[in-house]
């Protein structure tokens, strides 16, 4: 059997459902065999390899399974680099198969050669260059195993052309044998007991929940513990949905653009229970003054996350679901009455809010209407910028895996292809893609792919005719010099753009048009419906902790720029 066929049969043996790929010379044999043997998985021909990588991420985040990408050598491989880096930063399990020039030409500056393994070394969990067809099936097996287990992440498998042409017998290995690869998924019992004791003693405890809780499917047990013990919950951007935000114990997102009351809770808590969260600088601001009174319990599967940024008093190295399941019976209702009253008072003192009396259209209003319409049941995928933060603030997430975004790398252009990947993975769910006018353009080519596959994705473009997030910083910290952030001259007509890609295009310019556009978009069932919302450019995301500032210096409303010098 040829290496190319072995590759395809290995993917089938691995249970792969969908592959996002783009052909080229180095992988032409794979595509040829694909036409011949008709594997079980669906191949989606993306129109840019970056889109393919983000689609695999979206698929992985929505389903909890491993996403798969297949591209050719050289430019095909380099086009996936941003997606690989994004998956690395956000711990997303994907496997990227890249074609490579024949082994005897490697290093010769051969046509479409690049050192894919070298280029991706620092942004992959692991990688393989398969030099012998007899190692191919086992490399595939190992790649999926590594991507999926422990702290998930991207794995690259580089496939030289001669290896794909070579012949050998096919046998998919049943087990992986990786003597150097260890991860600890069971936290120490003593630490779990200690955590329970710390929780029992705390007067002002707070759950600080991140992407690891979602990844481990720990949301339900977390919710049960928080309710049983009466402990308020804040989540990171990636933790959104791990705890229902309509619960009175929820204080929403913390950090740079988190709610004022979540950050107040952090600054006053005497115990933080960090669950699969990594103390990112967008969360902590100036480290020294963050959570100054809190002892910290940290549950994380990756020992290198522990005490990386903030010293942790009780570290439970292991899987969130396992640790919380064992913690649950040890936790008793806490004496948090006063603390909860205080938290509630903060919520009332400074809720999320925006102006809406002047009748002009704002992103927050659009997102609130969308939230009413979807009732927390849709999968919401966002891009990077102001609209991303407003979506995090205003959507109100109720279930794990219903919020997908690029947080660590902050990749503009992530959103639409990721939404497409989510739609392939979860065909029964409504998928809403929320981008800005700047970022949408960065991978808009995938619209026609989604249209070709009849995916009824609801595509929201929050068009402020600006690189809004950069504009916000320019207004606040750079004396309103709006250098190269005005897009009004270069933005396309988004309705026509949608139509040119075989999608439905809709537009709203005033608040009273919003519901109608949403209604029309939801009526479309056989292709993406693109909704352009023309919002005002002056709006800024608040609250805000300026970069590097202490969480105590949070700006809750619009102030004059002088306030920051």
Partner 1 sequence: MSEHDTLTPQQILRKKAQGEPIGPGEKAHSHRHIIAVLLENSIGALNRVINLFSARGFNLESVTVGETDETSVSRMTIVTTGEDRIIAQVSRQLNRLVDVLEVEDLTSEEYVERELCLLKVSYTSDNRVELLDTLKIFNGKVVDITTDTMTFELAGPTKKINAFIGMMNRYGIEEIARSGRVAMKRALLFGD
Ligand X SMILES: Cc1ncc(C[n+]2csc(CCOP(=O)(O)OP(=O)(O)O)c2C)c(N)n1
Give the interface with partner 1 as residue ranges (CB under 8 A): 117-118, 121-122, 125-127, 129, 146, 178-182, 288, 292-295, 302-304, 306-308, 310-311
In Å, how far from its chain's centre is CA 337?
Answer: 35
Q: If contact means CB under 5 to 8 A according to the sort of partner, which of Mg ion, ligand X, partner 1, none does residue 129 touch?
A: partner 1
> Of 368, 437, 446, 539, which one interacts with Mg ion (CB under 5 A)?
437
> Of 216, 464, 491, 551, which one interacts with ligand X (CB under 6 A)?
464
- Give me the residue whose beta carbon is nearest to ligand FAD: 211
Using rule CB under 6 A, residue 439 touches ligand X? yes
CB proximity list for 77: less than 8 A, separation 6 or greater: 49, 71, 98, 99, 100, 114, 116, 119, 158
Residue pair 276/297 in contact by the 8 Å Cβ criterion: no
> How far is the C-alpha of 261 from the C-alpha of 269, rounded, in Å?
12
Using rule CB under 5 A, residue 468 touches Mg ion? yes
In 454-510, which ranges are E strands? Answer: 458-463, 504-508
Nearer to ligand X, 163 or 384 (CB): 384
**Subset of 370-389 contacting ligand X (CB under 6 A):** 383-387
Is position 111 annotated as part of the catalytic site?
yes
Cβ burial, residue 177 (10 Å; 0-12/13-18/19+):
exposed
Torsion angle defined by CA atoms of residues 491, 529, 426 and 223, in that order, rounded to the nearest 10 degrees:
80
> How far is the C-alpha of 367 from the C-alpha of 436, rounded, in Å?
13
Asked if the peptide bond before residue 543 counts as cis, ω within 30 degrees of 0, the response is yes
Q: If contact means CB under 5 to 8 A according to the sort of partner, which of ligand X, ligand FAD, Mg ion, none does residue 391 touch?
A: none
> How far is the C-alpha of 205 from the C-alpha of 295, rounded, in Å?
9
Residue pair 407/385 in contact by the 8 Å Cβ criterion: no
Using rule CB under 6 A, residue 48 touches ligand X? no
Q: If contact means CB under 5 to 8 A according to the sort of partner, which of ligand X, ligand FAD, Mg ion, none does residue 276 touch?
A: ligand FAD
Nearer to partner 1, 181 or 354 (CB): 181
Using rule CB under 6 A, residue 436 touches ligand X? yes
> How far is the C-alpha of 380 from the C-alpha of 398, rounded, in Å?
11
Q: Pick the stretch among 291-299, 331-339, 372-380, 434-442 that binds Mg ion (CB under 5 A).
A: 434-442
Q: If contact means CB under 5 to 8 A according to the sort of partner, which of Mg ion, partner 1, ligand X, none does residue 452 touch?
A: none
Nearer to partner 1, 126 or 387 (CB): 126
Residues that bind ligand FAD (CB under 6 A): 90-91, 151, 210-212, 215-216, 236-239, 253-258, 276-278, 280, 282-283, 299-302, 305, 319-320, 384, 388-389, 407-408, 410, 469
Nearer to ligand FAD, 320 or 476 (CB): 320
The one catalytic residue among 5, 14, 33, 49: 49
Main-chain phi, psi angles of 460, to 5 degrees? -100, 125
The one catalytic residue among 29, 141, 142, 161: 161
- The size of the interface with ligand X (CB under 6 A), counted in residues, is 20
Using rule CB under 5 A, residue 436 touches Mg ion? yes
> How far is the C-alpha of 287 from the C-alpha of 308, rounded, in Å?
11
DSSP state for residue 505 in the 8-state scheme: E
- Over the Cα atoms of the chain, what is R_g? 24
Q: Pick the stretch among 176-184, 226-234, 428-436, 552-560 that binds Mg ion (CB under 5 A).
A: 428-436
Q: How far is the CB of 300 from ligand FAD (least distance, A)?
A: 4
Nearer to Mg ion, 116 or 464 (CB): 464
> How far is the C-alpha of 18 from the C-alpha of 46, rounded, in Å?
12
Using rule CB under 5 A, residue 232 touches Mg ion? no
Q: If contact means CB under 5 to 8 A according to the sort of partner, which of ligand X, ligand FAD, partner 1, none does residue 467 touch?
A: ligand X
Nearer to partner 1, 292 or 351 (CB): 292
Q: How far is the CB of 145 from ligand FAD (least distance, A)?
A: 15
Using rule CB under 6 A, residue 120 touches ligand X? no
Nearest alpha-carbon partner for 259 in 544, 562, 499, 553: 544
The one catalytic residue among 41, 112, 170, 553: 112
Nearer to Mg ion, 24 or 468 (CB): 468
Using rule CB under 6 A, residue 466 touches ligand X? yes
Residue pair 297/225 in contact by the 8 Å Cβ criterion: no
Output the CA–CA distances (angstroms, integers) from residue 244 to 350, 355, 373, 398, in the order listed: 20, 26, 17, 4
Q: If contact means CB under 5 to 8 A according to the sort of partner, which of ligand X, partner 1, ligand FAD, none does residue 464 touch?
A: ligand X
In 250-309, which ranges are E strands? Answer: 250-253, 271-275, 295-300
Is position 50 annotated as part of the catalytic site?
no
Residue pair 22/46 in contact by the 8 Å Cβ criterion: yes
DSSP state for residue 541 in the 8-state scheme: -
Nearer to ligand FAD, 62 or 137 (CB): 62
DSSP state for residue 227 in the 8-state scheme: H
Nearer to Mg ion, 414 or 466 (CB): 466
Using rule CB under 6 A, residue 124 touches ligand X? no
CB atoms within 10 A of CB 519: 11
Q: How far is the CB of 436 from Mg ion (least distance, A)?
A: 4
Q: How far is the CB of 202 from ligand FAD (least distance, A)?
A: 21
**Subset of 405-434 contacting ligand X (CB under 6 A):** 410-413
> How far is the C-alpha of 40 from the C-alpha of 61, rounded, in Å?
22
In 183-276, which ranges are E strands? Answer: 205-209, 233-235, 250-253, 271-275
Is position 113 annotated as part of the catalytic site?
no
> Of 72, 411, 464, 551, which one interacts with Mg ion (CB under 5 A)?
464
Q: Is 467 helix (H, G, I), strand (E, B) or coil?
A: coil
Q: Counting runs of H as helices and runs of E as strands, what totals does the chain give?
A: 23, 18
**What residues act catalytically?**
49, 111-112, 161, 469
């Amino acid at each position: 059997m040829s290496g190319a066929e072995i590759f395809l049969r290995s993917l089938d043996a691995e249970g792969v459902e969908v592959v996002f790929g783009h052909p080229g010379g180095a992988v032409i044999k794979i595509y040829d065999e694909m036409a011949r043997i008709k594997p079980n998985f669906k191949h989606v021909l993306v129109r840019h390899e970056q889109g393919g990588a983000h689609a695999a991420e979206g698929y992985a985040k929505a389903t909890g399974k491993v996403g798969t990408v297949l591209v050719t050598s050289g430019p095909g491989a380099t086009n996936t680099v941003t997606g690989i880096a994004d998956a690395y930063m956000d711990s997303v399990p994907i496997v990227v198969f890249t074609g490579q020039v024949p082994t005897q030409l490697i290093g010769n500056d051969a046509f479409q050669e690049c050192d894919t393994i070298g280029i991706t070394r620092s942004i992959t969990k692991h990688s393989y260059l398969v030099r012998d067809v007899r190692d191919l099936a086992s490399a595939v097996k190992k790649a999926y195993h590594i991507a999926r287990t422990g702290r998930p992440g991207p794995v690259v498998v580089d496939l030289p052309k001669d290896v794909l042409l070579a012949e050998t017998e096919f046998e998919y290995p049943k087990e992986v044998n990786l003597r150097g690869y260890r991860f600890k998924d069971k936290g120490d019992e003593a630490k779990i007991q200690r955590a329970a004791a710390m929780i029992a003693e705390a007067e002002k405890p707070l759950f600080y929940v991140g992407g690891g809780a979602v990844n481990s499917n720990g949301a339900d047990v977390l919710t049960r513990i928080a309710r049983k013990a009466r402990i308020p919950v804040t989540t990171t951007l990636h933790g959104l949905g791990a705890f229902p935000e309509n619960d009175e114990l929820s204080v929403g997102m913390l950090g740079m653009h988190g709610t004022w009351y979540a950050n107040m809770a952090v600054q006053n808590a005497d115990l933080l229970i960090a669950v699969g969260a990594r103390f990112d600088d967008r969360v902590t601001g100036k480290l020294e003054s963050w959570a100054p009174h809190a002892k910290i319990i940290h549950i994380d599967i990756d020992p290198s996350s522990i005490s990386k940024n903030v010293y942790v008093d009780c570290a439970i190295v292991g899987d969130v679901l396992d640790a919380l399941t064992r913690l649950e019976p040890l936790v008793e209702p806490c004496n948090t009455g006063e603390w909860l009253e205080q938290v509630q008072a903060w919520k009332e003192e400074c809720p999320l809010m925006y102006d809406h009396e002047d009748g002009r259209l704002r992103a927050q209003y659009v997102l609130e209407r969308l939230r009413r319409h979807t009732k927390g049941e849709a999968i919401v995928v966002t891009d990077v910028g102001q609209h991303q933060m407003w979506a995090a603030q205003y959507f109100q997430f109720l279930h794990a895996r219903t919020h997908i975004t690029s947080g660590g790398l902050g990749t503009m252009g992530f959103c639409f292809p990721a939404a497409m990947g989510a739609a392939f993975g979860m065909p029964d769910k409504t998928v809403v893609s929320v981008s800005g006018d700047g970022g949408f353009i960065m991978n808009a080519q995938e619209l026609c792919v989604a249209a070709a596959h009849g995916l009824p994705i609801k595509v929201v473009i929050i068009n402020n005719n600006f690189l809004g997030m950069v504009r916000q910083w320019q207004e606040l910290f750079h004396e309103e010099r709006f250098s190269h952030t005005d897009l009004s001259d270069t933005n396309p007509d988004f309705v026509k753009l949608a139509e040119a890609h075989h999608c439905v295009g809709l537009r709203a310019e005033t608040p009273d048009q919003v519901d109608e556009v949403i209604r029309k978009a939801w009526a479309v069932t056989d292709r993406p419906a693109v909704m352009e919302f023309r919002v005002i450019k002056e709006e800024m995301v608040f609250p805000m902790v300026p970069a590097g500032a202490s969480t105590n210096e949070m700006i809750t409303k619009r102030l004059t720029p002088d306030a920051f010098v």
